[in-house]
Amino acid sequence: MEDKILLAHGSGGKLMHDLIESFMPELANPILEKLDDSAVFDVSGRLAFTTDSYTVNPIFFPGGDIGRLAVCGTVNDLAMSGAKPLYLSLAFIIEEGLAVADLKKIVGSIAEAAGEAGVKIVTGDTKVVNRGSADKIFINTAGVGIVPEGVNISAAKARPGDKVIISGNIGDHGIAVLSKREGLKFHTPVPSDCAPLNGLVADILAASKDIHSLRDPTRGGLAVTLNDFARQSKAGIRIDEDTIPMNKAVMAACELLGLDPLHIANEGKLAAAVPVENAERVLAAMKRNKYGRDAAIIGEVVKEHPGQVVMKTSLGASRIIDMPVGELLPRIC
Amino acid sequence: MKYVNEYRDPELGKKLLERIRRNSRKHIRLMEFCGGHTVAIFKHGLRQLLPSNIEMLSGPGCPVCVTASMDLDRAIAMAKLPDVIITSFGDMVRVPGSRSSLQKAKAEGADVRIVYSAQDALKMAKENPDKAIIFIGIGFETTAPTIAASILQAEQEEIKNYFVLSLHKTCPPIMKAILDLGEVKLDGIICPGHVSAVIGSRPYQFLADDYQIACAVSGFEPVDILLAVDSLVEQIESGQPKVEITYRRGVKEGGNPAALKLMDAVFEVGSADWRGIGVVPESGLQIRKRYEGFDAAKRFDIKVSTAKEPKGCICGAVLRGVSTPLECKLFRRLCTPENPIGPCMVSSEGSCATYYQYGEGSGR
């Protein structure tokens, strides 16, 4: 077999067939193995359906790679509506010249993450484009899941009095990717937190079905998620800087680069607005899950300043947390 | 990196605030020179916590903001030359010049790329031997040494297609220029932390000696800034201005001799054009004759017509500390980080962007 992906690998002929065959065993399941034009399966209940495309530079980073990201991202989007994720589609757009070994590694990560999340890849597609038309590899995944009876979660449902909970340290993914991309070396390397959160959500729902809002703070970080809650729910959110869990290395990296950790992406965290009477029970359930070990209550939903997030700083001042504007760029000097 | 926590210690911060409140009697006006300090002050809500007799003004210490329109126009014109790749720090690409921006030039087909350091640009030069790579060198004494190093490396490795458009500026001369303009009366200056790590604290001595202005070189954590304010209050109340380093973990009196040596090898002092202030003698760094082969200003002789400032934009007055962004008619109405009209709204460390991001004066 060739050691680089060629345009011919995407042409639908023998090479493509061999390529797909080579990674089939890792992803195998009865639905996928039929290799029909569409996957056919039974579902019953309220269906959750989502899609996302993944591009990341570098494609391999501490704590994960684009394959793991493509599975976890879509699984998490399903989980944030309270759904139990079931089936994923998987589509590659590959730049000519990608090492076949890299593709295999990515497929391995996809299989591993799907296994961990308990989802099946049931349909897929592979395209190869000319060098320069894509950056190494782009992945799209779409997913379906079933929302259990009695679960009704939305960013518009946060209510004054709700406690705001974050499932763990913020900013790990963004700093991991940035430091790898820019060749920044820190004493303590920060691995990405990229992880499937459907297990954590199941534990939360087992503790209480009455969860108002759930969202994973990916691009734009916790600042965007909390602003989404506040704006969509037409309520205010107040958080306390001292309670926000953060890895010291991330804090140090943010200081060095002049970045705000609240603006930095996460790929294995969720933020929740939970009625006050259920908050401690939900927090305890989260702490028992390995992806919620560092969970903490960081604030509450309030009637005042609807649509705005206000943070009490360590020194006792308060400041507005707005969405980040534009790209995050390290300071110049 | 063990420092960050103690310099965020709320107890220490509260103690310092108490001491500042106790010691500060006069109405005083302090300028934080550096945009990084402005961001830190807003981010930690320090303005709300300081007593009301201490007025804080933001200074011109944002490298993107102070780049003159005419210099930007030149960079944009260079971007339109054939077989040229323009490289610069991210924010620079979005700053509007007189008629266009590097971002617009890029959309129209120019090859403009964002880099994180001059080293990245040098690498690009090696990888693209048939193109001229022009690095738009902005920044103060902080970025200048690494850019000097890239020029020395280019010479050593005989890289002939790497050029720097040096728009570097130096801090002490612009402080002097702002004071000499006489528009704003200051009692103390929070001197830049990273710049001083390179140049040391001695270059500010004239401020205390000749202008009776208290100086404190500060770091960027909340406790750092409070330490600096505390020192300034003490100097002002006792009537004994001096230059104190309250950022000992980063700054020595003599600065960083290795960085200074690099800078001196490649650059010489020259005049610089500051947005909103104009041409200030001896406030810039130009490439020495010995390295003129790498000087984009010499290699690409570009004439641009007189620059136009955007109508209604008061970035110049904001940079001089004369006005705050809230006094600008465009601020938050027409000029936003998504659609910036002036440079101070583009850079994340610009005063306008900071006021906007932290909701200052929005009634929120």
Do B22 and B114 lie in one domain? The reply is no
Do A131 and A174 lie in one domain? The reply is no
Q: For residue A20, is it within any domain?
A: yes
Do A184 and A132 lie in one domain? The reply is no
Among the partner-chain residues A182, A316, A329, the one whose CB lies closest to the CB of B49 is A316
Do B81 and B157 lie in one domain? The reply is yes
Rounded-to-integer distance, Cα B54 and Cα B21, Å: 10
pLDDT of B1 reads 37
The strand pairing partners of A236, in sequence order, are A302
| DSSP 8-state class, residue A162 | P
Rounded-to-integer distance, Cα B169 and Cα B116, Å: 19
Q: For residue A327, is it within any domain?
A: no
**Average pLDDT over every residue of B259-264:** 97
Rounded-to-integer distance, Cα B219 and Cα B227, Å: 9
Which residue spans within B146-297 are E strands per DSSP? 162-166, 188-191, 214-217, 243-245, 267-274, 278-287
**Which residue of chain A is at minimal alpha-carbon distance from B119?**
A182
**Average pLDDT over every residue of B86-110:** 90
- For chain B, how are helix, strand and coil distributed in percent, rounded to 5? 45, 20, 40
Q: For residue A203, is it within any domain?
A: yes
Domain of residue A21, residue span:
7-147
Chain B residues within 8 Å of chain A (Cβ atoms): 1, 4-5, 8, 10, 13-14, 17, 36, 39, 42-46, 48-49, 63-64, 89-91, 94, 116, 138-140, 142-143, 194-195, 220-222, 337-338, 348-349, 353, 356-359, 362, 364
A296-313 pLDDT, tens per residue? 999 999 999 999 999 999
Do A125 and A164 lie in one domain? The reply is no
CB-CB neighbors (< 8 A) of B225 in chain A: none
Contact B269, B284 (CB under 8 A): yes
Cα A112 versus chain centre, distance = 16
Nearest to B328, CA basis, from B356, B288, B303, B349: B356
Boundary (domain end) residue, out of A147, A164, A192: A147
Q: For residue A163, is it within any domain?
A: yes
pLDDT of B2 reads 47
Helix axes A100-117 and A66-79, enclosed angle (nearest 10): 30
Q: For residue B64, is it within any domain?
A: no
Boundary (domain end) residue, out of A119, A147, A175: A147
Of B305 and A283, the structure prediction assigns the larger pLDDT to A283
Do A299 and A168 lie in one domain? The reply is yes
Q: For residue A326, is it within any domain?
A: no
CATH number at residue A17: 3.30.1330.10
Is B91's pLDDT higher than 80? yes
Nearest to B140, CA basis, from B168, B177, B176: B168
Do A332 and B359 lie within an 8 Å CB cutoff? no
Do B155 and B202 lie in one domain? The reply is no
Query: In this predicted structure, which of A214-218, B150-154, B214-218, B357-361 has the lowest mean pLDDT?
Result: B357-361
Q: For residue B330, is it within any domain?
A: no
Q: For residue A2, is it within any domain?
A: no
Do A174 and A292 lie in one domain? The reply is yes
What is the reported pTM?
0.86
Is B364's pLDDT higher than 60? no
Q: Into how many domains does chain A fold? A: 2
Do B93 and B185 lie in one domain? The reply is no
Boundary (domain end) residue, out of B210, B225, B245: B245
pLDDT of B123 reads 95
Which phi and psi (to 5°) does residue A128 adopt? -120, 130
Do A139 and A162 lie in one domain? The reply is no
Q: For residue B217, is it within any domain?
A: yes
Boundary (domain end) residue, out of A147, A178, A194: A147
pLDDT band with cut points at 50, 70 and 90 for residue B363:
low
CB-CB neighbors (< 8 A) of B44 in chain A: 313-315, 317, 319
Do B106 and B50 lie in one domain? The reply is no
Do B45 and A252 lie within an 8 Å CB cutoff? no
User: Long-range contacts of range B205-211, CB-CB < 8 Å, 24 or more positions apart?
Assistant: B205/B243, B206/B172, B206/B176, B207/B172, B207/B175, B207/B176, B207/B179, B207/B241, B207/B243, B208/B241, B208/B242, B208/B243, B211/B179
Domain of residue B43, residue span:
6-56+171-245
Do B162 and B287 lie in one domain? The reply is yes
**Which residue of chain A is at minimal alpha-carbon distance from B359?**
A320
Do B150 and B261 lie in one domain? The reply is yes
Is B134's pLDDT higher than 80? yes
> First-to-last CA distance in chain A?
49
Do B190 and B236 lie in one domain? The reply is yes
CATH number at residue A186: 3.90.650.10
A97-117 pLDDT, tens per residue? 999 999 999 999 999 999 999
The C-alpha of B93 sits at a distance from chain A's nearest C-alpha, in angstroms, of 12
Do A189 and A289 lie in one domain? The reply is yes
CATH number at residue B50: 3.40.50.11750
Q: Into how many domains does chain B fold? A: 2
Q: Is A184 on the interface with B (CB under 8 A)?
A: no
A136-191 pLDDT, tens per residue? 999 999 999 999 999 999 999 999 999 999 999 999 999 999 888 877 777 778 99
Do A162 and A286 lie in one domain? The reply is yes
Do B11 and B24 lie in one domain? The reply is yes
Tokens of A321: 């947390």
**DSSP-derived 3-state class of residue B283:** strand
Burial degree of A31 (CB within 10 A; 0-12, 13-18, 19+): middle
Do A199 and A278 lie in one domain? The reply is yes
Do A190 and A268 lie in one domain? The reply is yes
Rounded-to-integer distance, Cα B92 and Cα B74, Å: 13
Do B83 and B146 lie in one domain? The reply is yes
Do B145 and B205 lie in one domain? The reply is no
**Which residue of chain B is at minimal alpha-carbon distance from A259?**
B348
Rounded-to-integer distance, Cα B344 and Cα B322, Å: 14
pLDDT of B310 reads 87
**Cβ pairs bridging A and B (under 8 Å):** 103
The C-alpha of B64 sits at a distance from chain A's nearest C-alpha, in angstroms, of 9
Do A164 and A77 lie in one domain? The reply is no
Tokens of B12: 């220490």
Do B178 and B165 lie in one domain? The reply is no
Do B45 and A248 lie within an 8 Å CB cutoff? no
Do A315 and A184 lie in one domain? The reply is yes
Is A90's pLDDT higher than 90? yes
Q: Which amino acid is at A93?
A: I
H or E segment and range at residue A30: helix A30-33
Boundary (domain end) residue, out of B234, B268, B296: B296
**Checking DSSP bridges between strand B214-217 and strand A84-95, what pairing results, if any?**
unpaired
Residues 6+ apart with CB under 8 A from B55: B27, B28, B29, B30
Q: For residue A332, is it within any domain?
A: no
Peptide bond into A58 cis (omega under 30): yes
Q: For residue A232, is it within any domain?
A: yes
Q: Is A187 on the interface with B (CB under 8 A)?
A: yes
Contact B363, B332 (CB under 8 A): no
Rounded-to-integer distance, Cα B147 and Cα B143, Å: 6
B157-200 pLDDT, tens per residue? 999 999 999 999 999 999 999 999 999 999 999 999 999 999 99
Contact B29, B63 (CB under 8 A): no
pLDDT of B4 reads 59
**DSSP-derived 3-state class of residue B298:** helix
